[in-house]
Structure 1
Amino acid sequence: MENTAEKTTLDGVQKVRLFTKVWTKRDKVVIFCGLLLLSWAVNWEGTLGLTTNVNAMIELNSNNIISILSTVAFIIQCVCFPFYSKISDMTGRANAYTAAMVLYVIATIIMASAPTYGSFVGGQVVYSFGYSGILILGPIVIGDLTNVVDRGLMQALYNVPSLINLFVTPLVGDALGVAKWRWGYGMNSILLTVCSVPLLASLWHLQYRVKKSEHYIEYKRQQKAVNNMVKKKTLMEKIAWFIAEVDLIGSLLLVGGLCMILLPLVLSTTMWGGWQSSRTIGCLVAGVVAWVIFGIYEWKFATKPVLPIMKWQNRTPLLGILVLSIVTLISSTNWMYFPTYLMISRKVTSGEATLLDSGYRVGYTIGMVMSGTLMKLFKKWRPMVWMGISLMILGIGLMIPARLPHSSNAFIVISQTIAGFGSGTLDIPIMVAIQSSVGHEDLALVTGLIQVGGSIAGSVGSTLSGAVWNGMLPGLIKDKVPGDYDYAKIVSNIPYAVSLPEDQYNAVVDAFGETQRVLSIIAVSLAGLAFIFTLPMRSFGLEDRQDEQTGDDKADHVDEDLTQYGSRSDEMNSEKVELPEAMNDQHVDSKA
């Protein structure tokens, strides 16, 4: 069964490798332009969602549990990221990208027509299945297109289209308002469909040319010859292989444990009757049990573990994933309720709050482009990491006073921009270091693990934010706000909160400000932990690593094919069956 797994996985990887034999410079330019167009559309949808999600929650009276949306999304992505990376290796990039886009568009239609909060969350579930594929496949395709030296700059340029949207989508969101937020999702379904066509058409056309190439025809001919000489697998054996290949059991245990541990942290005090309720206790206990079983299964039984942390002797990939995961943990903790806080403390619209929050994303994008350019010029990545993480710690530290209720808007923007610039400067070199520390055959796998780590961190961060928010506010509002008021409306309905009498409103702002201050303190503490994880990462020059990978890829190209057919030849030799020598020689020559 293991040999069959190798064969099927190699079929998708083989298509990617043969891209380099059939594509031209024009093909690469067209594909990258298609990536940029889709990146713009996806970012438009996500940035517009910062405004429309808040407006949707106001209409559905669920603003205080908005963190559930992120928690559910991040949990689902934990499974989807390695699944998409595996499927793209097995079937090809075009197949995986198309499946992700179909789910993505369907999800926006579901959310546009959702009549209740529950159905909106259902749309968010489908959204996570599609969006996670788009999120992981973009960096994978860029990894296919570029070498180690150019990869950082190309990854940064891939995110540049987001700058176009930062100052436009808040205006669109405010124009739609609470009454017409559904039009935002409906518009996105059309926009995403149209903007995905150039990339998908290019990938399918290139994949078609690969299948018609002599190299791929020869590869399939020899593959067929080998398959005819060994026993064919039954349907049940193929199903068992697929379950093992994507580690379905481990993935379900991981996601089940995350759901049962994280969701009670948000829902226990808001919808489940407190920490003493049987539902809360049962979920937490079951979640711990699921994780214990997950650890044992991954350690003893999984042949292709969903988190293969012991796969590489070099610890740079694992440490880099931890650093990027902590950055995601910080953003999901400290930014989850920040737009809500701005809307209440500054009495601004959802779009205006998004604009105040845009400094982080502007700085992040500029930081990525700068670090990618410097890495290309100097062939070094480690100095960029330390500069980035120092600026990120400085910016998050400044957020503690900047986010006080009566601080200036300029102070907010400056602190956000410094933190974003530091995060962007850190992100690209860490990602390139992770991808460059493994062979090309593990590129999709390690890129998937980057996103899995981010999803786990995001789910923990959004849950932590929701737990702090819903845990602190009841007591603070009770202690600070005088007179009669409706607590449920204060935390779930922003227009009600800002329409309170002045003495009550000022007390509400102080309560929200104290909660936001605690979240910022947690974030700066986590940033220090990220710095510690960067210290043991192995330093290497990108130019040296490019030379190593060029040689390794050539060797792996032959060695893996020989392993594939050699392992089957061992099986056939035991049955006194041999491949013709000429076929073996021809096969090696064509792959070399």
Structure 2
Amino acid sequence: MMSRVAGLFRPKEAPVVEQEILSEKTAADKEANVISHSQNDNSSPSADKSPDTKWETEEILSDVQAGIQDVEALAKVWTRWSLIVAYITIWFIYFVDAMQQGMSTTLTPYVTSAFKSHSLTAATSIFSNLIGGLFKLPLAKVLDIWGRPQGFTAMMVCLTIGLAMMAACNNVETYAAGQVFYWVGYNGISYTISVFIADTSALKNRALMLAFAASPYIITVWISGPLADAFYHGPGFRWGFGSFAIITPAICTPLLALFYFNYRKARQMGLIPERKSDRTFLQSLKHYVIEFDAVGLLLITGGLALFLLPFSLYAQQPLGWKSPMLIAFFVVGGLLIMAFAGYEKFVAPKTFIPYELLMDRTVLGACVLAGVLFVSFYIWDSYFSSFLQVVNGLDITKSSYIMNIYSLGSCFWSIIVGVLIRTTGRFKWLALYFGVPVTILGVGLMAHFRQPDVNIGYIVMCQIFIAVAGGTLVICEQMAVMAATTHQYIAVVLAIESMFSNVGGAIGSTVAAAIWNGVFPKKLADHLPVELQGNVTSIVASLETQLSYPLGSATRVAIQKAYGDAQRIMIIASTVIQVLSIISVVAWRDIKVKDFKQVKGLVV
């Protein structure tokens, strides 16, 4: 493995040093933040000049935030071997996190069923997706103001708290709260690592390095299912979450130690100055409330959460949509969203969303694509595990293999996409002529094939289509937002793109829950024999109850037909939303990433 990573670096005698050179040609270039650069890679330092000597002639930008200054200082002290160790450590962090995430997804229907609330399987992810996505913009501020290691540490702590809460939960509400902490931490760690990769890689190689970091999914898809099965039939799901609450901090510690070692080295070299604030506690509190736009964050998070939750909760209310609680959710949620818009427009000293970046058509198009993909994915995926077990009769391990085809295929294919982007220097053509059409094809075909009595091979085929297309689009959308800006704004644009993804996931889970709760119980009642009508509530409430009826029995057949009816509507909705992905990719500029030199220091 080390030789594989080492091969991605230039020899030590001729390190790759990339500089941002301010264009002196036109004012238009300055306004567009277009960075001019040397015409070819032969302009890098000569072989007899060491990195340290070179850096003596360069200055760290003083007009950027402290965290970015620290990154540029650390770039001066990174060595080839320290970067190799960092990327190897990142690979292992992704390996452990991917294994745990796959296990968690597989066990979630059983956790909700343990509390007789299987219908809330999708609802448990609404808050976690929403808050996990919206939190990334404040996290981007943390990374830029305080530093990458500080943000990484905070996310590691958050993830560990979430795992501990899920291990100790006694009801669905506590489990959902644990999911919020877990997904904020999980997404935050992945996001922080993505920013680190952007800090330490050339733009033309960045897609390949992002794909390398995600490659552990190729292995963990074969582990997560058996692991979930072993915990479920062994010590229980609580031990599954609890064990990773110990493993995760342990696997993250080496990367933190590496950060600290190089940070101390940069301080000793005088590259990172002492920073002292004359603010009092209250002044600091006010400063950071404004800096992180805490009021705007609370307004939009609360507004979206309250507005989306009724779609998944209405089936549990005796009065349905007429429930006073749901009406209050809609009204208060809508008012909070309008208040957010008014506050950001007229009151906020610093806005939650950097609209000047978002208005770039490439950035906006990539963000819309990210949102659409996650809306579509969470609509068809929310009850997929249950479908495979109830309708196709697969056990936990085999169903996890089918579910993880997406992770396996997309992560493997993204490596190929990274090579293609490095070779051609472009990414738009991959998204427009391959990623989007194949995604629509794969999702659309599932409306026909995800039904009872259909060979499981056709479902596998659809998953493969979606996987290779997804691996293409995720890499391309990340490259689009990063290529459209400068290094100073990398963390912010990645946070915006990720925010759209997670909010899209929350909307997708909401739509899935609304369709499921509106269709499945009614269709189940239609298909069940008259003498079994009294069992509708217990069947809807528990996956284990559904699986307790033998394959081929009248009750199991009725359940399978109800699954098929609900799945067809969900997949049609998932396919229709994909139309927006075509428009979003067409809007991108056809940027040639080989033409950009974006990052300073020793890079991959």
TM-score, length-scaled by structure 1: 0.87
Q: In 1, are the aligned partners of 2:409 and 2:471 still within 8 Å (CA)? A: yes
Q: Displacement of 1:235 after TM fit?
A: 3.6
Q: Displacement of 1:286 after TM fit?
A: 0.7
Moved more, 254-263 or 97-106: 97-106
Q: Which runs of 5+ in 1 are unaligned?
A: 1-5, 555-592
Q: In 2, are the aligned partners of 1:58 and 1:178 still within 8 Å (CA)? A: no
Is 1:503 the counterpart of 2:554? The answer is: yes
Q: How does 1:342-491 map to 2 (within 5 A)?
A: 342-386=388-432, 387-483=434-530, 484=532, 485-491=534-540
Q: In 1, are the aligned partners of 2:483 and 2:591 still within 8 Å (CA)? A: no
User: Distance in 2 between the 1:282 and 1:315 partners?
Assistant: 37
Is 1:193 the counterpart of 2:243? The answer is: no
User: Distance in 1 between the 2:393 and 2:357 partners?
Assistant: 52
Q: Displacement of 1:493 after TM fit?
A: 1.5
What is the aligned partner in structure 2 of residue 589 from structure 1?
Answer: none
User: Distance in 1 between the 2:359 and 2:102 partners?
Assistant: 39
Q: In 1, are the aligned partners of 2:89 and 2:255 still within 8 Å (CA)? A: yes
Structure 1 or 2: larger helix share? 1
Distance 1:382 1:80, change over 3 A: same
Q: In 2, are the aligned partners of 1:362 and 1:417 still within 8 Å (CA)? A: no
What is the aligned partner in structure 1 of residue 328 from structure 2?
Answer: 282
Of the candidates 168, 184, 188, which is equivalent to residue 113 of structure 1?
Answer: 168
What is the aligned partner in structure 2 of residue 86 from structure 1?
Answer: 141
Q: In 1, are the aligned partners of 2:77 and 2:265 still within 8 Å (CA)? A: yes
The amino acid that maps onto 1:103 is C
User: Distance in 1 between the 2:252 and 2:447 partners?
Assistant: 41
What is the aligned partner in structure 1 of residue 47 from structure 2?
Answer: none
Looking at both structures, which has the greater relative contact order when contacts are Cα pairs under 8 Å and sequence separation is at least 6? 2
Of the candidates 360, 369, 372, which is equivalent to residue 326 of structure 1?
Answer: 372
Q: In 1, are the aligned partners of 2:106 and 2:396 still within 8 Å (CA)? A: yes
User: Distance in 1 between the 2:165 and 2:428 partners?
Assistant: 44
User: Distance in 1 between the 2:358 and 2:544 partners?
Assistant: 53
Q: Displacement of 1:214 after TM fit?
A: 2.2
Q: How does 1:170-319 map to 2 (within 5 A)?
A: 170-177=225-232, 180-217=236-273, 220=274, 232-271=278-317, 273-311=319-357, 314-319=360-365
User: Distance in 2 between the 1:365 and 1:249 partners?
Assistant: 38
Q: Displacement of 1:177 after TM fit?
A: 2.1
What is the aligned partner in structure 1 of residue 192 from structure 2?
Answer: 137
Secondary structure of the corresponding residue to residue 138 of structure 1: helix
Is 1:39 the counterpart of 2:88? The answer is: no
Distance 1:88 1:266, change over 3 A: same
Distance 1:344 1:463, change over 3 A: same
Is 1:519 the counterpart of 2:570? The answer is: yes
Q: Which runs of 5+ in 2 are unaligned?
A: 1-60
Of the candidates 143, 147, 151, which is equivalent to residue 96 of structure 1?
Answer: 151
TM-score, length-scaled by structure 2: 0.85
User: Distance in 2 between the 1:129 and 1:499 partners?
Assistant: 35
Q: Displacement of 1:455 after TM fit?
A: 1.3
Q: Displaced runs of 4+ in structure 1, greater than 6 A?
A: 6-9
Distance 1:498 1:19, change over 3 A: same
Secondary structure of the corresponding residue to residue 486 of structure 1: helix
Distance 1:7 1:377, change over 3 A: closer
Q: In 2, are the aligned partners of 1:372 and 1:429 still within 8 Å (CA)? A: no
User: Distance in 2 between the 1:129 and 1:160 partners?
Assistant: 22
Q: In 2, are the aligned partners of 1:319 and 1:534 still within 8 Å (CA)? A: yes
Moved more, 385-394 or 53-62: 53-62
User: Distance in 2 between the 1:212 and 1:467 partners?
Assistant: 58
The amino acid that maps onto 2:514 is A
Cα deviation code 1:27-71 (max 9, x no counterpart)? 111111111110111101101112222222222222110112110
What is the aligned partner in structure 2 of residue 572 from structure 1?
Answer: none
Cα deviation code 1:59-85 (max 9, x no counterpart)? 222211011211010121133211211
The amino acid that maps onto 1:540 is I
Q: Percent identity?
A: 25
Q: In 2, are the aligned partners of 1:82 and 1:306 still within 8 Å (CA)? A: yes
Q: In 1, are the aligned partners of 2:296 and 2:343 still within 8 Å (CA)? A: yes
Cα RMSD, aligned residues only: 2.0
